[in-house]
Amino acid sequence: MPPIKEIVAKKITGLLDHCHHLFVREHAMKFEKGLNTAMLLSNELNHFLALPTSYATVSHFGPGSPSKQDSMATAELREQLNALLSSMITSGLVYE
């Protein structure tokens, strides 16, 4: 029968290996989830950017033409979405 020290050392090594595999798997799953989220956002962004500007600025909250505040908010949103798309392209998550 092997000494207790050897048995304990083997068990510890096995547990550390198992812990490492779980750690790697957890990070891979988080990465995949983040990548899927980024792809969904990218698809939504591409769809939004493909809309005609006139459609994107139409107020959906009431009849009539869009208010100046609606137009400014839409322009700011479009700017932020363009910035997001640029950063996603730079990071390699999205291709032009």
Q: What is the mean pLDDT of the chain?
A: 77
For every residue of 33-94, DSSP letters joined together read HHHHHHHHHHHHHHHHHHS-HHHHTS-SSSSSSPPHHHHHHHHHHHHHHHHHHHHHHHHTSS
- pLDDT above 70: percentage of residues in the chain: 78
Can you tell me the distance from the alpha carbon of 41 to that of 52, in angstroms, rounded to the nearest whole number?
A: 19
Buried b (16+ CB within 10 A) or exposed e, 53-66: eeebbeeeeeeeeb
The arithmetic mean of pLDDT across residues 65-86, rounded, is: 76
Give residue 53's pLDDT.
58
HSE of 74, CA atoms in CB hemisphere, 13 A: 18
Give residue 59's pLDDT.
46
Q: pLDDT digits over 19-65, tens only? A: 988 988 888 888 888 888 888 887 787 777 776 655 544 444 555 56
Give residue 56's pLDDT.
47
DSSP-derived letter for residue 95 is -
